[in-house]
């Protein structure tokens, strides 16, 4: 048995929409409501994460879920690689930093050509129609993270293929079912391989 560590660099070829569920998403005490039911222009303010330097980031569980979803497209016998990826994959980074920084609120617009903008779109779920406001980054966003896995279950070429499929077919962030958050692998670099006794 041996554990492989790899650094993966990705570049978004579709916009990335944020919809992070944080502790502030459901406050302990009632707050004054903004907007109206189904149309709250302030909702985006609780759906992203940023460092003290205003650099946007994703939690590692987003990367884990994305790669696991990419494994659905990698056949293994009569099934897929998904259960094996779920069992062995680890994401070393707690925060996956993006190459985008949050502008000050008065500088944010809904202009999709900006690096960071407010995405406003109608959504319909189970017959209920709402307007959703999400912080978004335009295509060209980049991120880098380190993953680890057991190579007796998944070899390095399979894991690279799974990551490629994750970017092409699964995506990361919100709106994945309609094609948002898709990316390409710009670098897949094996860092080390540790033999376990």
Query: Does 22 have pLDDT greater than 80?
Result: no
CA distance 60 to 170: 16
Residue 125's pLDDT band (boundaries 50, 70, 90)? confident
pLDDT(90) > 90: yes
Give me the count of residues in the chain.
197
| pLDDT at residue number 75 | 78
Indicate whether 127 pLDDT > 70. Answer: yes
Q: Which long-range contacts (CB under 8 A, 24 or more apart) does 110-117 make?
A: 112/15, 112/136, 112/138, 113/138, 114/138, 115/140, 115/141, 116/56
Please give the Cα distance from 121 to 137 (Å, whole number). Answer: 15
Average pLDDT, the chain: 89
String of b and e for 135-168 (b: at least 16 CB within 10 Å)?
A: bbbbeebebbbbbbbbbebbeeebbbbbbbbbbe
Region 90-96: mean pLDDT is 95
Question: Taking residues 178-187, what's their average pLDDT?
Answer: 96
Both structure tokens of 42: 């302030």
Give the integer Cα–Cα distance in Å for 153 and 35. Answer: 51
Q: Are 1 and 164 in contact (CB under 8 A)?
A: no
Question: Which pLDDT does position 6 carry in this prediction?
Answer: 96
Evaluate if residue 197 carries a pLDDT over 70. Answer: no
| pLDDT score of 13 | 97
Beta partners for residue 79, in sequence order: 76
Given a cut of 80, is residue 143 above it in pLDDT?
A: yes
Ordered by start, the domain boundaries in the chain are 2-23+34-195
Of the options 3.40.50, 3.30.450, 1.10.3470, 3.30.70, the CATH number for the domain spanning 2-23+34-195: 3.30.70
Range scoring the smallest mean pLDDT among 19-33, 121-135, 137-151 = 19-33
What would the pLDDT profile of 42-57 be if each residue is shown by its tens digit? Answer: 888 888 999 999 999 9
Mean pLDDT, range 50-73, rounded to an integer: 95
pLDDT at 193: 73
What pTM was computed for the model? 0.86
| Range 92-117 average pLDDT | 95
pLDDT average, residue stretch 177-186: 96
């Amino acid at each position: 048995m041996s554990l492989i560590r790899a650094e993966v660099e990705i570049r978004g070829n579709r916009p990335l929409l944020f919809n992070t569920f944080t502790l502030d998403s459901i406050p302990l005490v009632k707050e004054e409501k903004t907007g109206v039911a189904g149309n709250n222009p302030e909702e985006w303010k609780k759906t992203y994460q940023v460092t003290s330097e205003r650099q946007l980031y994703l939690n590692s569980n987003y990367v884990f879920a994305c790669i696991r979803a990419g494994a659905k497209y990698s056949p293994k016998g009569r099934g897929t690689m998904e259960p094996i990826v779920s069992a062995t994959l680890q994401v070393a980074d707690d925060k996956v930093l993006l190459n985008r920084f949050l502008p000050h609120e008065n500088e944010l617009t809904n202009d999709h050509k900006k690096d960071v903008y407010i995405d406003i779109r109608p959504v319909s779920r189970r017959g209920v129609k709402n307007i959703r406001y999400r912080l978004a980054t335009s295509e060209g966003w980049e991120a880098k993270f380190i993953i680890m896995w057991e190579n007796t279950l998944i070899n390095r070429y399979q894991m690279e293929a799974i990551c490629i499929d994750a970017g092409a077919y699964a995506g990361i962030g919100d709106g994945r079912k309609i094609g948002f958050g898709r990316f390409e692998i710009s670098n897949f670099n094996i860092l080390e391989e540790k033999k376990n006794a």
